[in-house]
Structure 1
Amino acid sequence: KMKKLALIITALLFSLNLISAQNKYFLQFPDEWKFKAADNFEFSKPDYDDSNWEKIRIDKVWEDQGHDNYDGYAWYRIKIFIPSSLKDDAFLKDSLRIFLGKIDDYDQSFINGKIFGINCRNADEKTSLDNSFTDERPIPWNVNRNYSLSVNDSRILWDKENVIAVRVYDQGGAGGMFSGGAAIRMLDLNEFLICGHSHAPYEFTKGKISKSFSLNNISALYSIKGKFTIKAEGKIDGKIFFEKSYDVELRPNSSQNFAYSLSSQDQSSLIRYIFDFAHNNSQSVFNDEAPYILTPVSSPAPKINGAKVYGQRPGRPFLYTIAATGTRPMTFEAVNLPAGLKLDKKTGIIKGRASEKGVYKVTLKANNKIGTATSILKIIIGDKISLTPPMGWNSWNVWGLAIDQEKVLASARVYKEKGLLNHGWTFINIDDGWEIEGSSPDPKRDSNGNILCNSKFPDMKALGDSIHALGLKFGIYSSPGPLTCGGYTASYQFEINDARSFASWGVDYLKYDWCSYGKIAKDHSIAELKKPYYVMRDALDSIDRDIVYSLCQYGMGNVWEWGGSVGGNLWRTTGDITDTWQSLSQIGFSQIENAKYAKPGNWNDPDMLVVGWVGWGPNLHPTRLTPDEQYTHISLWSLLSAPLLIGCDLTRLDDFTLNLITNDEVIAVNQDPLGKQAIRKFNENGTQVWVKELEDGNHAVGIFNLGNETQKIAVNFSDIGVRPKNKIRDLWRQKNLGEFSGKFETAITSRGVMLFKLTGG
């Protein structure tokens, strides 16, 4: 623990936004800074008068603070007194760290009018000041800005007021400093101690979970000594059930391996890795949570899963795969198929073209050596597609721009190998990075204006055919502007060409991302926001293929109010999600005012799933969400009738992640044919209750504990608008809990959820 610094500074000496040292080793910035949505290098100078600037928080994007739809340059400023005691009291006296957190999209950072950082890298004070920093490849939004200066650097004014100014450029969507926690501190030994627990997955074996990892000293000069303790305790009962300590000495550039094994639990366990440093009695604590599996193992008997309704336009290519779990081999039957459709009895794939409009109630059967399962699928040949939220995989959250054809095919193969196809997962979607870079001297289109793929995608038609052969659907990405968000060739003024190319490749899904169209649009009026999406909609209407149309423009102009009118099947309602609780909770629990616009064929999209191994490419890591946060993630997205697009490396699926995405009773909430989005019915003291009306007249309910401690929560049925007497089924455990009158009470871990179905008592 840090020692408090006995330093008293008369408040009158400094302005209200001047902060002082809070302990010997650490200066914490407040989250409230000065802000101006304009651009002038004079703003970096220490004597610039910012008294008329507005105040803004750096733990939220500026769109959430009165600057909706603002793209371009803006400046943040704050004053800070940096005492020489900060370096005098430090064990290492080499460097000063300036941590600014996450910034969307680009930054130039200044101290006392002199630049010290640009887009995550340290900058010499002689660096030229221009706008070229905005031409660099975008910095991933989940990367912290962490800059360093030598303690002898003349840019630092020791024992004086310093002015930190950050110039931000946002190219579209959410913008600004947004993660909070900015601070100044001295380099210390704890920065050289790396605990590898977060990159080491848990292994499930015979009723136990185990982990192997290493402690690493990355310093080339200093040794690290201390005591290292691994401690595990239940999150609900708080009981410590594992504890072991080690005396550790890590020489420069060395590591030590550790391993432990725990009994599998039916709740999350908090794991703490505690290092007590010998040199100054300080402590570093690394937190972890052990995963726990709730989804029961699928029965060997056949069971038909997936959506109960499917829509297609007349005469368009039809592809539907019967999702069924159970021992293979399995054969399939389909009675009352529309004319023009044919079932492959061995694979369960239904193909063809149905020309006659109508509603067809098709009886599906799945047979294996154990028995037969029967289900009704309603096929609607009409004007609407995407009658349930799309379920699939998207490459962005895992590979980013490092995606290639083999990674896509590998993901598709996992659908079959791991059985995702049997639970209704359908789409394999390529995001940005398949096109030719805008800065490349190579041709971007052929002589007929048809878009060309880069060398990572040598045959897009063959790729689509391979995906379809597995009974899956194929998705792709583009932008209405001249360039995609990653700087690749996009569809501006070639919309019809691209729609025809997509059709020829067999594309079933298009994500159309605003990106550089911000430089084309005249303003942010609703008419200008709609315009590029109308253009591509018209292009898609001209081809002989149904393509699910995903509008990606981050919720600008309340897109949920008009997305359907431009032909969108789904629309992003927020900025991009990251694998943090802050991002997940802010996005997920804000889906309130858009609820009434969700319905079959039109879905609110709070962005993709961040479970499993993610990284936005090419370097991956296990999601930083805890197991409880991941259960909350899947539960909330299911209640919201949100598109379910997995964003992880499917080839590294572990048992826990597989349990999250193959629970058929949870998926059924998302795929319910009524298509209603859950409504928040209760919100008090860190507890939220969301209720979703189901087609059968019953309700799915999620009780969420948004707090940091386990809570015992009682929910009165009258408070959430359901019947006074109900039977309750735990959907994750697929277990009936009994009949309850008036209320239901349960203990829920921090940031966890109880997801259940209420049926009439």
Structure 2
Amino acid sequence: MRHLPTRTSRRRVIGSLTAALLCAAGLASPAVAGAAPGPEAARPAGADGPRLPDGLALTPPMGFNNWNATHCRAEFDEAMVKGIADIFVAKGLKDAGYQYVNLDDCWALPQRDANGKLVPDPKRFPGGIKAVADYVHSKGLKLGIYTSAGTKTCNEAGFPGALGHERSDAQQFAEWGVDYLKYDNCNNQGVDAKKRYVAMRDALEAASQSTGRPIVYSICEWGENKPWEWASDVGHLWRTTGDISDNWGSMLSIMKRNLPLARSAGPGHWNDPDMLEVGNGGMTDTEYRTHFSMWSIMAAPLLIGSDLRKVSPQTFEILGNKEVVAVDQDPLGKQGTVLSSAGGRWVVTKEMKDGSRAVALFNETGRPQRIATTAKAVGLPQASGYTLRDLWKHESFNTAGTVSATVPAHGTVLVRVSADGTWADKPPAVELGLDGGALVEAGKPDRLTTRVTNLGRTPARRVGARLTGPAGWRVEATSPTSAAALPTGKALATSWTVTAPEGTPTGSYPLDLRTSYRAPGGGLVESALPLTAQVVVAPPAGRSALSELPWISTTNGWGPVEKDTSNGENRAGDGNPITIGGQVFAKGLGVHAESEVAYYAGGACERLTAQVGVDDEKLLKGTVAFEVWADGKKVASTGVLTNQMPAQTLSADVSGADVVRLVVTDGGDGIDSDHADWAEPVLSC
């Protein structure tokens, strides 16, 4: 289940302190609080222990889990679960590969019955869990359930956990018809993780033997004990991180922690970076496509976390993209690996069973960027040409070997590249791009250059380019907008002036770049690249507090970036006075890693100074690193700072930069409790 940052750290710290106090007193931490370990107590891990049934989870599990959408609210009930199963069938998700409909916490009563058995909540599940399982099975789907490897589950209400009851609970699950178990990590009484999770593995094996029902086993211990190093013969999947939240910073941080673990994944044993947030409303559709693309290229389990009874058509379009799902479900079972990530321009590639390569061009930053690689770099053999399939546009092209695109802010271009010899009948791939950023001061013309580049082995003929802006804007070409032909590697570069009307408010405005061309066979090909023009105001001469200047853009791990208060994590204005090491600052920016705040400097500023650190409101955790970027160059950084450190002085030379970016990273350990302050930040111009 989910653990919100402030509450998660509190629960985990309390559990750790309990174990530490018991040890300090010379006492052993009991397997079950208040009772001596019985016959079901955790067994030691060992290579001679039984493994889970073979043949399960040969590709990453796909399905649904209610927690991200409902938590413990009353809407989580039998009707919802059956409704999700119906939607899987009606909306084609079953046909796309989704099969598990999983219950998370709060399905049970707080107390076991007189025989020590789990009791489903009769208000939520009046027919019981077996009746729900029977209904789900009737749809050709499977049912999952949740409990914790502790005395209680993770919900604050404290539903029964399975520690000390592994055999009995596993037997109940199997008899009910459960096909999947998510096994959480709360209230574990300090029992060794391997012992706790091996105990349930053995219990599930015993239940399977007695009932004939195998159960996929999902280990949810948040990556605290590096399960990727030991759990391949314990569970079918294991969480590699803390809980995901429905925001860009959380998703990005989790992705970065899961990507380096590719060697641990494979058929029957998968790295799990937590459930999907697609459709819950905290990110844009562009960010949700990135979320889905990156989870798929990482061969991650795809468990839908939104209430499908309420989501938009765009959500079904994202979740139901069979070509992207096929990347995740490829039977070779390899997790994608990182080829490069410089400047937030990520190239991640995944070997496929048919010999092709899935390639994700992922733009971490808040502005469009060109991201490029080659067929050779992603592991394909030398060939005269290659087929490039765009998995979101569902179009195929030929390429001479370059794989590149201008990728929108927070966007991902996902392609499949193959050297299968079928490239010649495809039109050439053409890349659209923009040199520099579109930063426009109202009433003043800004000069832009667009490029249409032929990446294909065959020529593109009768090439045209067109750039348009919002109503009332003037967009005028100052160089040719067409070319008779573009051979391989050649570009049509067109200069434009773009003018926003006087009085246009600061903010983002759409530009649309389009091209059309003829393939060698004469067919017309059209392509478009949505761009953004940013209307900006030059900072005044002298020293300016950044919290008094308009920013270009922000991204934040939790909640909005705050001006002159700390980050409150939820809504604007819910922060506290900025305080670092006991010192209170009147001015500044309160952020939460991963975070970026961009300002327009217009080439007229020289220096940025600030006092930086972790806000005092995070008493027990928080590790961050501060960076200042001038255009595309990092010009200052702090290294990792903790909540135990006083404010640090940061000074950066930003001379000549058009854009100054204030970046906070998570210090390498995830974003839990990473409240960071830019105190008294001043831009001198």
Is 1:529 the equivalent of 2:202? no
Q: Which amino acid aligns with 1:495?
A: E
Partner of 2:380: 722
Partner of 2:125: 457
Is 1:105 the equivalent of 2:5? no
Specify which of 94, 118, 141 is matched with residue 472 of structure 1: 141
Query: SS in structure 2 opposite 1:685?
Result: helix
Query: SS in structure 1 opposite 2:125?
Result: coil
Q: How do residues 697-716 of structure 1 correspond to structure 2 at under 5 angstroms?
A: 697-716=355-374
Q: Which amino acid aligns with 1:729?
A: R
Deviation at 1:171, TM superposition (A): 5.0
CA distance 1:529–1:729, change in 2 (3 Å): same
Task: Write the deviation string for residues 501-532 of structure 1: whole angstroms up to 9, x where unpaired.
Answer: 10111000000001111x242xxxxxx11001
Is 1:515 the equivalent of 2:166? no
Task: Write the deviation string for residues 8-51 of structure 1: whole angstroms up to 9, x where unpaired.
Answer: xxxxxxxxxxxxxxxxxxxxxxxxxxxxxxxxxxxxxxxxxxxx
Is 1:417 the equivalent of 2:113? no
Partner of 2:67: 396
Deviation at 1:561, TM superposition (A): 1.0
Partner of 2:640: none
Query: SS in structure 1 opposite 2:400?
Result: strand
Partner of 1:751: 410
Task: Write the deviation string for residues 617-654 of structure 1: whole angstroms up to 9, x where unpaired.
Answer: xxxxxx21111111110000110110000000110132
CA distance 1:388–1:703, change in 2 (3 Å): same
Task: Write the deviation string for residues 700-753 of structure 1: whole angstroms up to 9, x where unpaired.
Answer: 000001111011233234444434542211011111022223x22321100101
Q: Which amino acid aligns with 2:336?
A: A
Deviation at 1:592, TM superposition (A): 3.2
Q: How do residues 94-243 of structure 1 correspond to structure 2 at under 5 angstroms?
A: 103-105=6-8, 169=13, 171=15
Give the distance between the partners of 1:468 and 1:105, measured in 2 at CA: 35
- Cα contact 1:599–1:676 (8 A) shared by 2: yes
Query: SS in structure 2 opposite 1:591?
Result: helix
Query: SS in structure 2 opposite 1:401?
Result: coil
- Cα contact 2:260–2:337 (8 A) shared by 1: no
Partner of 2:300: 642
Query: SS in structure 1 opposite 2:243?
Result: coil
Is 1:481 the equivalent of 2:150? yes
Deviation at 1:474, TM superposition (A): 0.3
Q: Which amino acid aligns with 1:537?
A: R
CA distance 1:705–1:724, change in 2 (3 Å): farther
Is 1:560 the equivalent of 2:228? yes
Count residues with an aligned counterpart: 372
Give the distance between the partners of 2:84 and 2:361, measured in 1 at CA: 33
Is 1:607 the equivalent of 2:267? no
Q: Which amino acid aligns with 1:491?
A: A
Partner of 1:625: 283
- Cα contact 1:479–1:515 (8 A) shared by 2: yes
Partner of 2:112: 445
Task: Write the deviation string for residues 242-273 of structure 1: whole angstroms up to 9, x where unpaired.
Answer: xxxxxxxxxxxxxxxxxxxxxxxxxxxxxxxx
Query: SS in structure 1 opposite 2:159?
Result: coil
Q: Which amino acid aligns with 1:551?
A: I
Unaligned 5+ runs, structure 1: 1-70, 72-100, 108-133, 135-167, 174-380, 438-443, 522-527, 614-622
Partner of 1:432: 105
Q: Which amino acid aligns with 2:163?
A: Y
Q: How do residues 332-347 of structure 1 correspond to structure 2 at under 5 angstroms?
A: none
- Cα contact 1:682–1:719 (8 A) shared by 2: no
Deviation at 1:492, TM superposition (A): 1.7
Q: Which amino acid aligns with 1:584?
A: M
- Cα contact 1:609–1:646 (8 A) shared by 2: yes
Partner of 1:49: none
- Cα contact 1:677–1:692 (8 A) shared by 2: yes
Task: Write the deviation string for residues 587-617 of structure 1: whole angstroms up to 9, x where unpaired.
Answer: 113223321111110010000000113xxxx
Give the distance between the partners of 2:378 and 2:54, measured in 1 at CA: 35
Task: Write the deviation string for residues 124-159 of structure 1: whole angstroms up to 9, x where unpaired.
Answer: xxxxxxxxxx7xxxxxxxxxxxxxxxxxxxxxxxxx
Deviation at 1:685, TM superposition (A): 1.3
Deviation at 1:410, TM superposition (A): 1.5
Give the distance between the partners of 1:549 and 1:489, measured in 2 at CA: 19
RMSD: 2.2
Give the distance between the partners of 1:656 and 1:713, measured in 2 at CA: 26
Q: Which amino acid aligns with 2:98?
A: W
Partner of 1:736: 396
Task: Write the deviation string for residues 146-202 of structure 1: whole angstroms up to 9, x where unpaired.
Answer: xxxxxxxxxxxxxxxxxxxxxx956589xxxxxxxxxxxxxxxxxxxxxxxxxxxxx
- Cα contact 1:481–1:520 (8 A) shared by 2: no
Give aligned-pair identity as a percent.
41
Q: Which amino acid aligns with 1:691?
A: T
Q: Which amino acid aligns with 1:749?
A: P
Give the distance between the partners of 1:387 and 1:400, measured in 2 at CA: 29
